[in-house]
Amino acid sequence: MSERWQIGVCSWSLQVRSIPELVQLLGPLGLTRVHLALGDPHHASWLEDDATFIKLVEAAPFTASASMLAFPGEDYTSPATIQKTGGFGDPALRQERLELVKWGAAKSRALGLSIMSVHAGFIPEGASPARAAFVDCLRRALDISAAQDVTLAFETGQETAFLLRATLDELNHPYAKVNFDPANMLLYNKGNPIEAVRVLGTDIVHVHAKDANVPTVEGQWGAEVPLGEGQVGMGDFLDALAEVGYTGALAIEREVGDQAGRVRDVGTGANMLRQLIAQR
Domains of the chain with bracketed CATH:
6-278 (3.20.20.150)
3-state secondary structure of 59: helix
What integer pLDDT is reported at residue 4 of this predicted model?
87
d(CA 249, CA 232): 18
| Inter-residue contact 209 to 248 (CB < 8 Å) | no
d(CA 195, CA 33): 27
Instruction: Using a pLDDT cut of 70, give the percent of the chain over it.
Output: 98
What integer pLDDT is reported at residue 2 of this predicted model?
46
Q: What is the pLDDT of residues 201-240, one digit of tens each?
A: 999 999 999 999 999 999 899 999 999 999 999 999 999 9
| Inter-residue contact 176 to 139 (CB < 8 Å) | no
User: Could you give the maximum distance between any two Cα atoms of the chain, in Å?
Assistant: 51
3-state secondary structure of 205: strand
> Mean pLDDT, the chain, as a whole number?
96
pLDDT at 112 over 90: yes
| Inter-residue contact 9 to 33 (CB < 8 Å) | yes
What integer pLDDT is reported at residue 43 of this predicted model?
56
Q: Position 95: which residue type?
A: Q
What integer pLDDT is reported at residue 45 of this predicted model?
79
Q: How confident is the model at residue 29 (pLDDT cuts 50, 70, 90)?
A: very high
* For range 191-204, the mean pLDDT: 98
d(CA 146, CA 211): 31
